[in-house]
Structure 1
């Protein structure tokens, strides 16, 4: 029986073999044999194993397989040993195995020696002999459940699986690999060096074998191989077998993405119960969340190894592996990225990739798309210019010279812009000839790209279409949109007809649609009476051509209908929008356009339009999954409904409907930019001091019974501005969190779960606009008696800051109601926190960005010297992870989209109050109308000229024509091109019998952006009539009549320009 000393030495040998510490084993074997005379088998086995390993290391030291190029059909294998060199080792092992052992003391050690012998044949390429030896092995379970015995047992199975694979027996190889995987899973806590090496080799080959077409490996088994591989290798230094790990990770990224898109994704083995649906199925959101974690962390692992492996680029050098990684990452980001937080991380990942490439158009292209989605339009424009230059579409001088020309258009800020020169289309015949010299092409020869990369034409066209969309929808710059449209059109037309009618057919239709939309916007913004019809005709022609290329696209028919509506071709527009609704009956904007078209006297009447509006609201109901754009369109649709109710049933009906409008506004309300996103109120609505059914309802005839009610009693059921602000900050107000991230139509279904939204607040808490404000209560306007104590305290605090209030530089001191307007303007508290959308509160259906998801398919821990992100285990406690999408820099200011949406949100609320003021004016309640105007001024006193315009109308109703005229002038100081303000100014001059001034205003107005204002033409005709210019009178009045018959209840400009 072995002594205690011998037993300890055998344990030391076991540990040394597990850890691969072969240098100490000869001495340990000698001492073991000294203290245990019957230990010859173990001694000879370990000595033979050491010799075998030394021979392997010596023979393979000069050559290393190129694992970078491995794929399922070519798996590299290390050079096999010369059998003659191994024979002495095999003889040594056979001698040990054949030693006499009457008591079977060494039976287990002999089996272990057979494994080493099998390995010696395996390393020589004698696979059949190795399999034959392994097939005869017999082990007791307790002998191979731990230590080096387990390693040898796993080694035997691995050798058997690889031998089957290399001899063409793939089915048996797969079964054996699955057995190896089971062993690894059952002993996941064992991570010694020898085990990791054999596990890695087995799982490497098993994964690549499973990726073959017609493979015997199931999807779930292949995913398990991939996950086990990452678990085994993540604990090693980054450079350990790095090329093999990169190969597996790269193929894993592609495969996991593919099967998720196909709906075949399988969840990893869970340590916690999974969420089930009512049908007994696994919650699909769990699949999405697990996929997001798995894929983002695979990208994290791969990026770290990639940048250790690829060199820094030289001029003109293309690091193709980096570009492939970026392309894969960008493709996956459409599935895994949902929040602004993720997008910022994605942009940083692109910046890191750009440091490993040289002026890459591909990276710049993805950067442009990401910045547009993020709403950083200024940066997106820089990326766009860089991309166009890299692909050879513009020159260095283009940016400075393309603005040369006559400034005949205005953008939304009132800035005059030079219009681009329209270029003739390239015919198919021209493509077969040299382009004539008269035509200086915008688009250079695509073969002279300023980068060694060759961008696909379709990818470049997608960038240009995205740029047109940005300029049309977000920046409202028709000139720049047309510049991009001309480049896109010419690039498309320079391709062969075969390409345009095959691979470029779909994107070609998109290009012509974008060109049409761009010219339509430019026609809307130009004030030159000769260019305007030219632009509109071009827009219509390109949109019709787009419909010919793709007659199944509802978006094209919407754009066609909107263009026809802008051109007052109402009947044709109705036909086009009907086709669009047939293609997609659930889109709110389509129904809104149809409603506006039917509201035109030439097409129908208000009653029919109201029926259409109600039908549209039923077919496209508001959903909690709507993004900001959809919610805003629902808001505008409700406003159209209110105007129709007013036209049909009078101002009382409109007043009742206004309550719904203010309730809907909560869903698009944007926080003050200075407000910290960290506070719970950051995404709340009603931050503007919005009063719903306030204490002064006694001023309405419909609520005379409430005249004696005190402010305190009315506050019980009717919250004031301060109440709403307070409830917002405490989570009592339904709110929508705005990532301000653009989501394309094709991504909507994928990213439904990715939008941060406090649905619980909207569904479980009673809204201040709910039952308490329903029934016969109508919207009224507050005055000082109705303000709560909190509101008065806020006024006192703000009066101290009043002298520091910043005014618009061009209209300093233009407050309608003096200091009261600014002092009563409700503000959310300021702090020094940074404005970001990343920390929106999470809800049951909130925005689960990659940093907040609960589980992970890999058990990865933070390892010193290997800073790959730690991945959580499947446990109830959620650990923080460092993902590739975790941005290192938090922005110090909001995105451009956030600023623009804030302005648009304020304008909408201001317009709601002005609509209410109009209703009160129709009811003859001028005091309440004045208070409504004051509320509108509190919200948007800098950029909304209609505030002053409505005040001027009030003053004109009071007979104060001089002050009314001053108000109209102040409105035009805000926006000199506002049609409504110029019309009312002209009417005020007419009221003062100053026909010359009125004529001048109306003449300029009708020649510019007021060309389709029927009332302006009517008054101009009346002036001509009074001055005996009958020919002009007749023309103006007939044109006014024609325009009146095609004018909707609300302008078509409230609709989305580029859908």
Structure 2
């Protein structure tokens, strides 16, 4: 038929087809007239084209739902039906012209709001019809293809209006085979792209909708649909400025809804884990591509969301932004979780992903008003990046908003729907407590107890959704339990108990410790109540078992911990082993340690195939550089340890140390020394060589800068807590005439007689006013750490000694009654009346003057101990020796104190990614612990040179780490603060090294050399338990005259111990006891300690009172200083259950003539020793009781 057309007709037909396809509707009427003139047999086509132009140019541009009720629309469109229907019914109409007319008729009926008529007008199968039209020799215009896509879209949309979603989906899907035949859509016309995009938009939204069940679309088809849809969006510029009618306005969706559906589809693929088996390279490439696609769609989604949403009113919430934040967080949890690696995420790894999410959250915060959801997500992500200060600023803001909302809801009786629900609030607070207890120090523990108290208030608070009919406390709890899910209540009680148990470990208030432990046990037990649906929670069982062990309920702890034995719970097996050693069941404890490793079955599963045999060997002499470099340079088969977090690997190392301690207890120190190479080899496999990759650290600013994309937002979002403490950068007092020279560290040795002996002054290294910094007491001076490892042989000796003494005491008198369980309290160390301070002293006894007792007064032969010097407020401290007009002041040149910070089903939080320096701190601290443990083994095996070599290794590690810390923070705080996470501070590590050196010197019977090392340990870390006890025992030996106050050869006091001495070693000085001792050679030292303990109660004349000699002054100062050190230590969290300290304190009481007090302390020692494990409970690993 085409051959019967004239050249003009063919040309006009082509021009009309092009104008219709390109949307040039103003040209269509004239071209239709020419076609009707030169090709009258194509009259139906001309009428169809003219009708389309009228609809596109003059038709309404409003959504279908609005058109259906518009009389104007009906008056405009209804007259177009009759001419088109008449032309369609002519007998000589071509099939393609009839098809186009049918689609145009359905279009009009669709616009009139009559979907039933539109569906009845259109063919059943567009794919079959289009295939028939395209077959043969006839030339079919592009408009036929456009009408096929348009008709399929109109029919599918009409079926959706009729709620036949499955039929609509089938109609849309029928066009996919035709669309898949296109290699590229860049050459297609604008109308084809326009209607194709509309069809794909509906199909994409339906396929990605979680609420619309459809069949025939799998995840791969959905992903392909979105990919094609994105192609139309990015390549067709004609769609951006289309003229005439735009069907996209009738979609019923915003474009950002389609993009969000695309993002949701990619998220589903991310969270499902592909079942395909790929090679390693293919798997990595697919992960990188998946991450790039998700990041691209994420950016597009965010741009639409921020552009199209406005800031809500104070009474409203922006649900779209919050839903977007939730979706981003779900993907972040997957990509930053254990199933993805840094390599699979591209440049920056998980850290870059986390910071990108932070930027998104801060931008989302600009479109929300006090959104608890956004603040909760900020807390979570900041914590995962180890930005704990910023995390808890977000948490403080979150708590402030929630607390205010709960108070308002309680008054009004209506819950605020803009706030997080009660379950989420409790779980978020529980996560905050977990982070504070696991990674923080003492200040963080105090914050945790405050959060726990607030959670208790929330649990008892009235909930509007439950009618209030009863007023008792139990009824209030019942109402809460009805309003909050049982699982959330269980989590809340576990967190409350965790905060109380951890605070009991670090509090200065010794009287409150037992009460806190009792409350913690109660809350842990309540968390395991079956009515809360979590009676076998492993974390709760572990924490409660550890608390019971600390409170000496060994049988209860063993019975409970057996319920939690399961795979991947190495700390639980370790705790069971320590519990068994507390009952002297060493063989069974050894089997528990073995079970911690055997749960991984074949060692190749744990360590990797090529390395499994290495760690079972008893003799590994080629450890050092070769094997460690192999680990860095050779890609061996990975094992489970390569996927473990640092603290999980630490738990394996701690179990190995306990195994060696058991070997020492059973077979002796020599056997343990022979197995020590296993410990070093295990460390090398778990952590590598810390010195192999030196850090390139830059000095850090005092305050962390906010994200680049939200530099002005963070303060407004996070800095809203009105209750947070303001940390002043300016101390309250300063030293006048401050010079550029450093402040010398005060000596903790016995002072010269001109000082106010025996008061020992210990000040904070940072020059901070401890009265302002610490609320609970004045006696604490620096950060308190758990006790260091206690040597096994010393423990065994002390056990035997204590038990012999306890047996003797039991024969003499009945044991005093004590309360059972966790209410059992340690004896309180009371401060006896003070000894009058001595203003001055010389070598001659006649020149000794007393401040409160004159030479005419009676002086008893014995005297009570003085109060602890650093319990006094700073203003009441006596002036330093020789500086009566210069009382102590805070040095303003020292840094300000470390500032403290004013979910859902995805409750399990990600492990924080600690900074590089904190990771290095953890590794170095562990290796130092390993070397010092080995040094202790060598010392107890009388292999002193080997012990010295092990201490040398630890010394070098600490010295190197100190240099690395100084590059980033060369301040006093930088050396004394351990930061968030594992490991110890530099000062704490030095304290461990010097204390172990002191142990070695004592083993070699060099007490004065040991005394100097202990002094150095305390000058670095004033509350070091082992150094405190060691020094106190030597001081008591001096008082008892077992050893002279000074060595015979003072020049040999500090030999060159280390091959690489630091400046601290070179400048170490002995305490100047010479002036106090007087003529040491004139005194005969013997082992009868109480020659001066004459009864002073009888009346004596003034002529019988003998003046105090310098030798006696020195002995009394040594005894009183030992008491001061020990009484302070036993009140601290690191010493309240340290039996060596209590035993030494009992000796100090005995030497001071306070026998009854000594007996009370000794009974406490017996109780501690009866339930004491082979290593301290803190050896299980970091975490404050958190599994």
Give the alignment's TM-score, normalised by structure 2.
0.59
SS at match of 2:317: coil
1:186 equivalent in alignment to 2:178:
no
2:518 equivalent among 537, 541, 546? 537
Contact 2:149 2:199 in 1 (8 A): no
Q: Which residue does 1:1004 correspond to in 2?
A: 1128
The structure-2 alpha-carbon separation of the partners of 1:213 and 1:114, relative to structure 1 and needing over 3 Å to count, comes to closer
Contact 1:60 1:79 in 2 (8 A): no
Q: Which residue does 2:828 correspond to in 1?
A: none
Per the TM alignment, residue 974 of structure 1 is displaced from its structure 2 partner at its CA by 2.2
1:599 equivalent among 568, 578, 581? 581
2:495 equivalent among 493, 498, 514? 514
1:20 equivalent among 19, 23, 32? 23
Q: Distance in 2 between matches of 1:187 and 1:979?
A: 78
1:458 equivalent among 423, 441, 451? 423
Per the TM alignment, residue 208 of structure 1 is displaced from its structure 2 partner at its CA by 5.4
Q: Which residue does 1:115 correspond to in 2?
A: 103
Q: Which residue does 1:776 correspond to in 2?
A: none
Contact 1:364 1:386 in 2 (8 A): yes
The structure-2 alpha-carbon separation of the partners of 1:97 and 1:468, relative to structure 1 and needing over 3 Å to count, comes to same
The structure-2 alpha-carbon separation of the partners of 1:1010 and 1:131, relative to structure 1 and needing over 3 Å to count, comes to closer
Per the TM alignment, residue 255 of structure 1 is displaced from its structure 2 partner at its CA by 7.1
Q: Which residue does 1:938 correspond to in 2?
A: 956
Q: Give a deviation string over 1:682-741, Cα, whole Å, max 9, x none.
A: xxx3132xxxxxxxxxxxxxxxxxxxxxxxxxxxxxxxxxxx559x99xxxxxxxxxxxx
Q: Distance in 2 between matches of 1:483 and 1:386?
A: 15
SS at match of 2:510: coil
Per the TM alignment, residue 449 of structure 1 is displaced from its structure 2 partner at its CA by 12
* TM alignment of 1:642-721, pairs within 5 A: 642-666=660-684, 669=687, 685-688=688-691
Per the TM alignment, residue 340 of structure 1 is displaced from its structure 2 partner at its CA by 2.2
The structure-2 alpha-carbon separation of the partners of 1:225 and 1:725, relative to structure 1 and needing over 3 Å to count, comes to closer
Per the TM alignment, residue 557 of structure 1 is displaced from its structure 2 partner at its CA by 1.0
SS at match of 1:533: helix
The structure-2 alpha-carbon separation of the partners of 1:112 and 1:811, relative to structure 1 and needing over 3 Å to count, comes to farther
Per the TM alignment, residue 897 of structure 1 is displaced from its structure 2 partner at its CA by 5.2
1:89 equivalent among 74, 77, 80? 80
Contact 2:542 2:572 in 1 (8 A): yes
Contact 1:80 1:125 in 2 (8 A): no
SS at match of 1:1049: coil
1:195 equivalent in alignment to 2:192:
yes
Q: Distance in 2 between matches of 1:647 and 1:17?
A: 95
Contact 1:392 1:450 in 2 (8 A): no
Per the TM alignment, residue 376 of structure 1 is displaced from its structure 2 partner at its CA by 0.5
Contact 1:52 1:89 in 2 (8 A): no
1:378 equivalent in alignment to 2:389:
yes
Per the TM alignment, residue 541 of structure 1 is displaced from its structure 2 partner at its CA by 1.9
Q: Which residue does 1:156 correspond to in 2?
A: 151
Contact 2:44 2:87 in 1 (8 A): yes
SS at match of 1:530: helix
Contact 1:917 1:932 in 2 (8 A): yes
Per the TM alignment, residue 1050 of structure 1 is displaced from its structure 2 partner at its CA by 1.9
Q: Distance in 2 between matches of 1:141 and 1:663?
A: 75
**Count of aligned residue pairs for this structure pair:** 777
Per the TM alignment, residue 195 of structure 1 is displaced from its structure 2 partner at its CA by 2.5
Q: Which residue does 2:940 correspond to in 1?
A: 922
1:1047 equivalent in alignment to 2:1164:
no
1:482 equivalent in alignment to 2:449:
yes
SS at match of 2:185: coil
RMSD, aligned α-carbons:
4.2
Contact 2:409 2:416 in 1 (8 A): no
Q: Give a deviation string over 1:522-575, Cα, whole Å, max 9, x none.
A: 111123321222222222222122222431212111111011111122111111
SS at match of 1:392: helix
Q: Which residue does 1:948 correspond to in 2?
A: 994
Q: Distance in 2 between matches of 1:168 and 1:480?
A: 56
The structure-2 alpha-carbon separation of the partners of 1:131 and 1:1039, relative to structure 1 and needing over 3 Å to count, comes to closer
Q: Distance in 2 between matches of 1:997 and 1:444?
A: 58
Q: Distance in 1 between matches of 2:157 and 2:73?
A: 19
Q: Distance in 2 between matches of 1:809 and 1:940?
A: 22
Q: Which residue does 2:434 correspond to in 1?
A: 469
Q: Which residue does 1:579 correspond to in 2?
A: 563
SS at match of 2:662: helix
Q: Distance in 2 between matches of 1:579 and 1:312?
A: 52
Q: Which residue does 2:551 correspond to in 1?
A: 567
Q: Which residue does 1:635 correspond to in 2?
A: 653
Per the TM alignment, residue 118 of structure 1 is displaced from its structure 2 partner at its CA by 3.6
Per the TM alignment, residue 203 of structure 1 is displaced from its structure 2 partner at its CA by 3.7
Contact 2:193 2:236 in 1 (8 A): no
SS at match of 1:586: coil
Contact 2:1129 2:1136 in 1 (8 A): yes
Per the TM alignment, residue 500 of structure 1 is displaced from its structure 2 partner at its CA by 1.3
Q: Which residue does 1:244 correspond to in 2?
A: 254
Q: Which residue does 1:791 correspond to in 2?
A: none
1:60 equivalent in alignment to 2:65:
no
Per the TM alignment, residue 95 of structure 1 is displaced from its structure 2 partner at its CA by 5.5
Q: Which residue does 1:980 correspond to in 2?
A: 1026
Contact 2:460 2:480 in 1 (8 A): no
Contact 2:25 2:53 in 1 (8 A): yes
Q: Distance in 2 between matches of 1:1039 and 1:39?
A: 111
Q: Give a deviation string over 1:23-66, Cα, whole Å, max 9, x none.
A: 3334555666787776655444322321232243xx235x6869
Per the TM alignment, residue 145 of structure 1 is displaced from its structure 2 partner at its CA by 8.8
Q: Distance in 2 between matches of 1:962 and 1:446?
A: 70
Structure 2: 5+ residue stretches without partners: 241-247, 338-349, 463-475, 607-639, 697-740, 749-911, 960-985, 1042-1117
Contact 1:378 1:896 in 2 (8 A): no
SS at match of 1:140: helix
Contact 1:965 1:985 in 2 (8 A): yes
Q: Distance in 2 between matches of 1:200 and 1:351?
A: 33
The structure-2 alpha-carbon separation of the partners of 1:292 and 1:498, relative to structure 1 and needing over 3 Å to count, comes to farther
Q: Which residue does 2:52 correspond to in 1?
A: 49
Per the TM alignment, residue 231 of structure 1 is displaced from its structure 2 partner at its CA by 4.8
Per the TM alignment, residue 949 of structure 1 is displaced from its structure 2 partner at its CA by 0.7
Contact 1:810 1:974 in 2 (8 A): no
Contact 1:316 1:451 in 2 (8 A): no
Per the TM alignment, residue 183 of structure 1 is displaced from its structure 2 partner at its CA by 3.3
SS at match of 2:175: helix
Q: Give a deviation string over 1:591-623, Cα, whole Å, max 9, x none.
A: 1111111122xx233222111100121125742
1:147 equivalent in alignment to 2:147:
no
Q: Give a deviation string over 1:469-511, Cα, whole Å, max 9, x none.
A: 1210111332111011101111112145234146332111111
Per the TM alignment, residue 92 of structure 1 is displaced from its structure 2 partner at its CA by 4.2
SS at match of 2:419: coil
Q: Distance in 1 between matches of 2:413 and 2:995?
A: 56
Per the TM alignment, residue 218 of structure 1 is displaced from its structure 2 partner at its CA by 4.9
Q: Distance in 2 between matches of 1:974 and 1:810?
A: 12
Bigger Rg, structure 1 or 2: 2
Contact 2:1029 2:1144 in 1 (8 A): no
Q: Distance in 1 between matches of 2:1145 and 2:108?
A: 103
SS at match of 1:1047: coil
Q: Which residue does 2:328 correspond to in 1?
A: 329
1:368 equivalent among 348, 358, 379? 379
Between stretches 619-628 and 534-543, larger displacement belongs to: 619-628
Q: Distance in 2 between matches of 1:363 and 1:327?
A: 9
The structure-2 alpha-carbon separation of the partners of 1:5 and 1:385, relative to structure 1 and needing over 3 Å to count, comes to same
The structure-2 alpha-carbon separation of the partners of 1:331 and 1:218, relative to structure 1 and needing over 3 Å to count, comes to same
Q: Which residue does 1:1017 correspond to in 2?
A: 1142
Q: Give a deviation string over 1:205-249, Cα, whole Å, max 9, x none.
A: 445556455545555466665665555445568988695323344
1:547 equivalent in alignment to 2:528:
yes
The structure-2 alpha-carbon separation of the partners of 1:337 and 1:958, relative to structure 1 and needing over 3 Å to count, comes to closer
The structure-2 alpha-carbon separation of the partners of 1:576 and 1:32, relative to structure 1 and needing over 3 Å to count, comes to same
Contact 1:48 1:92 in 2 (8 A): no
Q: Distance in 1 between matches of 2:70 and 2:300?
A: 29
Between stretches 1047-1056 and 115-124, larger displacement belongs to: 115-124
Contact 1:81 1:125 in 2 (8 A): no
Q: Distance in 2 between matches of 1:969 and 1:227?
A: 71
